[in-house]
Structure formats: C-alpha cells, structure tokens
Amino acid sequence: MTKITPFGGFGLGLRRSHYSDFLDGNVLIDFVEAISENYMVDGGKPLDVLTRVREKHPVALHGVSMSVGSAQRLDRDYLSKLKRLIDRIEPLWVSDHLCWTRTSAHNSHDLLPLPYIEEALEVVCGNIMEAQEALGRPMLFENPSSYCSFPDNEMEEWEFLSEMVHRTGCYLLLDINNIYVSAHNHGFDVMDYVRGLPLDRVRQVHLAGHTPGEILIDTHDRPVCDGVWQLYGEVMPLLGEVATMIERDDAIPPLEDLLDELDQAHALATRARERRAA
Amino acid sequence: MSLAARQAEFMAHVLEEGRALPDGWDARFSAGLDIYRNAYRTRLVDAMRETFPRTAQWVGEESFAAAAAHHLITNPPSVWTLDLVGEGFPDLLAELFVRDPDVPELAWLEWTMHLAFIAADVAPLDREGFMAAVAGFGEDDWPSMALAFTPSLAWAEVKHDIPRLWNGLKQETEKPECPALDQPATLAVWREGLQPVFRLLDPAVASLLATMQGGTAYGDACAMLAELVGEEAAAQAAGAALGQWITDGLVVAVRA
C-alpha cells in the first residue's frame, strides 16, 4: 500500500459560509480540508463547489461517519460513495476518527468513545484494514476527545492508538485540542500522551476551540485557546513535517479571522522548526 | 459485556434519558453520557431546522422543535448521512398538524427541494439536442417515443397555494398567506443547473408528466389524456407540455 508523503502545509476547513471566498478570491493557504460526508452526494452544488475548489487548492478529505470502532462491519454503501469521491477529488489524504458512530440499528451522528480493550482493538484494526483495502490507500485516524472513560479499560488511549498504527499501517491525525480536552476530562498528562504515540506516523495536526467547564466539550465554536496554542508549541518540535489545520464548525467567523489564527500556527510551527534544527 | 452489547447499551443511553446504568458506569460516566445525549439532540434538531427552515418559520420555533423531537424519537437516524435525517417528516407533520394541512405540504416542498439540491448531475436535452434525438423519427416513431426525465424531478398534489407561502416566507413578509386552491393541483420540483425550482402544473400537463415519467409511451400517454380532456385539448396540451419540458430542462433522453 502506498505511503503518505509528509506535507508541511497550513490549511482551513471548507465551510458553506466561506464558499464564495474560496471560489471567487485568492485565499492564501496551502490546502483545504473538506468534510467527506458533505460531498458524498450524487451531484448538485456541494460537489460542484468542491470540484472547483480542488482546481485551486489541494484537498484533504476528513470523514466523521466511517465508524471503524463499531462492532458491526463497515457500511459498504458508505465505502463505495467515499471511494467515488476520492476518485473525483484526488485528495492529499483521507482521514476519519478513532471512534464509533452507529450500531446495527441506529446512527448517533456523533463520535462516541471506545473502551480501550483488546476486543475493541481487534475490531478497529479489522475495520481499518478493510477500509484501506477498499479505498486502495492508507488512511489517517484522529485521536478523539471524549467525555466518558470505561472503567475496564485495559490500556491507555495512546497505547491503543500506537498498537492500531502498528497493526494496520495507518497514519495519525493528531488533534491537539482533543488531547487537551481529554487530558482535562480524564486526568492524564498531555505529554505522556504525546510521547506515547508513534510520532513519525503523524501527517496532520488539528487545532480547534472547546467549551470550558467542569467537563471540557469539543465544540469547535470559538478560537483556539491559549492552553492549546501552548501545547501545539510543545508538540510541534517533536513532529516531522506535518500539515496544520484550524477546525471551526460552529459560530463560524469571517475567513480573515481564521487566517489570522492560521498565521499564529505558522509562527509557532516556524519557531518549533528552528528549535528542532538548533 | 461484548463490544456490540456495550455499544447497544451506550446508544440506548444516548437516545433515551433516565435508563438504569450498568455496573461500573458511575456518576462521572453518567455526566459524560448527558453530554453525548445533548449533543445528539442538538445536532439532529439543528439538521432538521436547516432542512426545513420555512416550515420552522411557519409553525413557530417552539412547535417545530417539538415536532422535530417527536420525529427523532419515532424515527431515529439509521444511516450515515445527515442529509436523510428529515425523511418521513412531512408525513409525521400530516399527523401532528391535522387542522393545518398546509404545514405538511410546505414541508414536502422543502424536503423535495433538499433532495433535488443533491440529486445526480445529468445534462438535460436542450432544443437542439431534442431535435437531433428525434431527427430520424418516422411518423410511426412518435407514438412510441418514451422520455427519461431529470433525476431531481418529483411532484405531489397540494391543496394550498404553497408557492405563494414559500415566497412570502422567503421575503419575511409580516403575514405570509397560504390560501386554499380552488381545486387540488400538482406541484413539481426539479433542479435547473445547481438551483432547485418548483412550479404548479396545469392538470393536463401534470397527468401527462405522471404517466410519461412512469415509462408510458407518448402516444399512450396522449390517449389517456384524451380520455380526460378530449382529443383536441389533449393534442394541444401534449405539444405545449413537450416544449415546456425541453425549455425547463426536464428531459434528459429520448427513446423511440
């Protein structure tokens, strides 16, 4: 299976309120990340927009519904529609999440937490292998944020992710905000988490905002907070060449605000590269 | 507990509040479940509101939220795409708003426009394309002509002036109106380019369209129409309808 070549670009998500910015303007970013499911349709405007954006920018496809953690097998209809989109868009890479979203009867349309037990690891790895085979490419999987931790966990989340990478050959999309949120919610040390991962397999980093409280909630509805910026600054020197992307899914501001945040990421990443070289 | 059983239990807690927790799922776990349950409801009701904005505007936010919640309880999503979360909602509204039959009609229009928005791209035949397709037709070929219509095309019978209501809601006029029609009419939806559109159809045209979209040949469809409106009127209506369908971009292929 082909490898995913490192790409050190800085990108933003393609959101409806910014369609005209991307289509009419000259947005100075290195890549665009599109939510796969929004474009896994038969035709019409969404697919037309993404196709035209693709003419201007490299596109990464980021999914939320593959559900590799479901005890049931993968949805073949989902896989075939994703493959069709991949063939059309020729993305930089395709990513999804370490989570489950559905049972045989219902779909939550949310990223639900897994127990970190051997049975779940076998299910996840089997599903990832099947997906990578069907799509003809290795994928990236994102570390989740979570609000429940199962009492019978047999391993830490980072150990689960490491073993998943080892068994399947997949890559990682490291969400810095998710580490921050889950560390707060479950009481682990952020750097234990980071250092426990196979960092050479990280190809992309996500930055996002969350809702503060007793339990932090990964809402993507506000700017990246200082704590997440600080963690990004600490993690980047440990990584090789990776792409960075700002995620915003609610209370979406003008594109200029997100470009300002992306500039901040760029500056931190540059400093990290200098520290790594020194 | 197996992974499948555990996930079924977790999902049941997401869908329904107040279930007894299994052993080991403590108060902190329960607080986390509350967040997932709240996110599930918020996300799906938001998706419903996004799919049916005019219906929400017409019935009021409170009534809409209650109806959407009812829909999600009786018809929780089972497929991966949020695009289909509103499937069956117009039918539910017909049960919930028995005294306001304009409500399910408006919801049908929004749902059908939503589906048309993401329907397959198929280039329609323009006038030149149609003429080229029938250029070799002999006199005997016309009655057996069958048409393939654009995949976004759908229609339903309505008893109220839903287009007037739609435009009134769009312009946010103070009191949008939705008078009953003198007689039931057919409301057709399709997509022109990237834009879904709709139109109330003349009854004769609607009848012809329904039969021909079902695969009936042009000659047989005209004969069926003649039984309803007489031969002369049927011939005039059929000729006019064919021209209008081509202009509207409804026809994507012609088969002899």
Residues in chain B with CB shorter than 8 Å from the CB of A44 are 116-119, 121, 191, 194
Do strands A243-246 and B180-192 pair parallel, antiparallel, or not at all (unpaired)?
unpaired
Above pLDDT 90, what percent of chain B? 88
Q: Reduce the DSSP state of residue A230 to 3 states and report it.
A: helix
**Predicted pLDDT at B201:** 93
B193 — contact with chain A (CB < 8 Å)? no
Residue A230 at interface with chain B, using a CB cutoff of 8 Å? no
Record the pTM.
Answer: 0.94
Say yes or no for a CB contact (<8 Å) between B78 and A215: no
The predicted-structure confidence for A122-132, as pLDDT tens digits, reads as follows: 999 999 999 99
- Give me the residue label for tokens 């993690």: A235
pLDDT digits (tens, 9 = 90+) for B6-54: 999 999 999 999 999 999 999 999 999 999 999 999 999 999 999 999 9
- Compute CA distances A143 → A96, A179, A234, A251, B240, whole Å: 9, 8, 18, 23, 60
Range of the domain at B165: 122-256
| Nearest chain A residue (CA) to B191 | A44
Closest in A42, A78, A107 to B78, CB measured: A107
**A61 occurs within a structural domain:** yes
> What's the mean pLDDT in B147-161?
96
Per-residue pLDDT tens for B174-203? 788 999 999 999 999 999 999 999 999 988
A42 vs B121: CB contact, 8 Å cut-off? Answer: yes
How far apart are the C-alpha atoms of A103 and B11, rounded to whole Å? 7
B74 contacts in A (CB within 8 Å)? none
Backbone phi, then psi, for B25, in 5-degree steps? -90, 95
Give the pLDDT confidence score for residue A1 in this predicted structure: 66
In a mutational test of the A interface, the residue from B80, B87, B112, B195 whose CB has the highest number of chain A CBs within 10 Å is B80
Q: Is residue B255 part of a domain?
A: yes
CB hemisphere CA count around B205 (13 angstroms): 17
CA–CA distance from B99 to each of A117, A261, B71, B86 (Å)?
A: 54, 52, 19, 22
- The confidence score (pLDDT) of residue B4 equals 97
In which residue ranges of chain A is pLDDT below 50?
A: none
Full domain range(s) for residue A214: 10-277
Q: Which amino acid is at B134?
A: V
pLDDT, position A187: 96
User: What pLDDT is stored for residue B80 in this prediction?
Assistant: 96
Task: Provide the pLDDT confidence category of residue B85 given band limits of 50, 70 and 90.
Answer: very high
What CATH number does residue A270 fall under?
3.20.20.150
User: Tokens 């057919």 correspond to what residue?
Assistant: B186
- CATH of residue B252: 3.90.930
Facing B194 at nearest CB: one of A44, A123, A152 = A44
Q: Which residue of B has its CA nearest to A46?
A: B118
Virtual torsion, Cα A206, A208, A211, A213, nearest 10 deg: 50
Q: Is residue B7 domain-resident?
A: no
Within 10 angstroms of residue B242's Cβ, the number of other Cβ atoms is 19
B26 belongs to a structural domain:
no
The nearest CA of chain B is from the CA of A185 a distance in Å of 9
Domain count, chain A: 1
pLDDT at residue B173 is higher than 90 = no
Q: Do B76 and A37 touch (CB under 8 A)?
A: no
Q: Is residue A218 part of a domain?
A: yes
Residues of A in contact with B40 (CB under 8 A): 108-110
CB contact under 8 A, A119 and B3: yes
Q: Is B81 at the interface with chain A, CB within 8 A? A: yes
CA A187-A119-B43 angle, to 5 degrees, is 60
Q: Is residue B165 part of a domain?
A: yes
Query: Taking CB atoms and an 8 Å limit, are B117 and A47 in contact across chains?
Result: no
Asked whether residue B230 is assigned to any structural domain, the reply reads yes
| Residue A3 included in any domain | no
Using CA atoms, how far apart are residues B63 and B69, in angstroms rounded to an integer? 10
Determine which of B15, B16, B118, B152 to mutate to test the interface with A (most A C-beta atoms within 10 Å). Answer: B118
Chains A & B: contacts with CB separation below 8 Å: 119
A5 assigned to some structural domain: no
3-state secondary structure of B180: strand
- How many independent structural domains does chain B possess? 1
Interchain CB contact of A123 with B (< 8 Å): yes
Nearest-angstrom CA–CA distance, A211 and A151: 25
Window 83-102 of A, Cβ < 8 Å to B: 100-102
Q: How confident is the model at residue B256 (pLDDT cuts 50, 70, 90)?
A: confident
Strand order in the sheet with B154-160: B154-160, B180-192, B195-201
